[in-house]
Amino acid sequence: MVLAAVVPASCNDAPDRDRPVEFPERWIDGTDSEEPSFQVHELAAGTWIIRQSLTTHFEAPFLYLLAGDERALLLDTGATTEPWIRQVVDELIGEAFPLIVAHSHAHGDHVAGDFEFRSRPNTEIVGHAVGDVARFYRLERWPHASTSLELGRRPLLVIPIPGHEPSSIAVFDERTGVLLSGDSLYPGRLYVRDFAAYRASVDRLVETLAEASVSWVLGAHIEMTDQPGVDYEQRQVSHLGERPLEMTWDHLLELQHALSTMGEAAEYTVRDAFIVYPLD
């Protein structure tokens, strides 16, 4: 794989919700055969978005690294078994900084790089099964309760959101106001495998975070073009003219409303920024 340069930043910078976050003008999108295998963008102090290139895998997932004073959380490890993600993480936070390797859910394009961290010191890898996830986060009433994960002056709220996949979670970062939504909401095809669970999960997200001042909703993929309601062909390996990654609280409310109008089963529904895509 072609590796990009990673510029380390301090993971102990003071939190600053007043600092405007900035997204890159464009993400690597597979349109350049010489593009690096990943792109790192520092969204805020101690907050990095990592995109895997479409030239390495058509899923091109987004990974998230959040660092507090005492430890860091890596959410997802990428879509290929070629080693790259540990090097990125170690250059950003240091080889010995304590790390939790977690997952938005258990699908292969989000867990393929786990093996790289098995030999890393001060590292805990969260299992993929519902029981493993519930035990690690001490969620005794899965999926009906949320819980806090403390990174050291950086609390995260972990919310179970099964429906796309049984062990799906969302992570809300109080420092930045960012909600990490995995494959449950992103600009693309929202594959619904268990409609009752998915609809309940979206309702739970809205109820839990209603007073939380969510700044952005960031998912794990981009599958929509910059034309409203138009997606790329499945497994397409270049994304000329992508829609931005960032979504808003209003998109979550739009999804909730769309699901509330459906009956006992999910219905194929095209909106400007996402497509509800039933699989159950």
Render pLDDT for 21-79 as a digit per residue (tens, 0 to 9): 789 999 999 999 899 999 999 999 999 999 999 999 999 999 999 999 999 999 999 99
Sign of CA dihedral 142, 129, 176, 30: negative
pLDDT(117) > 60 = yes
Mean pLDDT, residues 175-186: 97
Say if CB 177 and CB 264 are below 8 A apart: no
Q: Is the pLDDT of residue 196 over 80?
A: yes
How confident is the model over 107-111, as a mean pLDDT?
A: 98
Predicted confidence at residue 16, as pLDDT, reads 53
Q: What is the pLDDT of residue 248?
A: 97
**Mean pLDDT taken over the chain:** 94
Which pLDDT does position 11 carry in this prediction?
46
Q: In the structure, what pLDDT confidence band is assigned to residue 2 with cuts at 50, 70 and 90? A: very low
201 Cβ partners below 8 Å, 6+ apart? 143, 160, 161, 162, 163, 168, 184
Amino acid type, 233: E
* Residue 195 token pair: 């409609």
What's the CA gap between 172 and 209, in Å, rounded?
Answer: 8
pLDDT score at 21: 74
Count of beta carbons in the 10 Å neighbourhood of residue 240? 11
* 67, 46 contact by CB (below 8 A): yes
Give the pLDDT confidence of 212-235 residue by residue, as tens digits.
999 999 999 999 999 999 999 999
Q: Output the six-digit token pair for 220.
A: 């794990």
pLDDT at 137: 98
Q: What pLDDT, on a 0 to 100 scale, did the predictor assign at position 165? A: 98
In the block, which residue shows the tokens 């997606």? 231
Interatomic CA distance for residues 105 and 129, integer angstroms: 9
**According to the model, what pLDDT value does residue 18 have?**
46
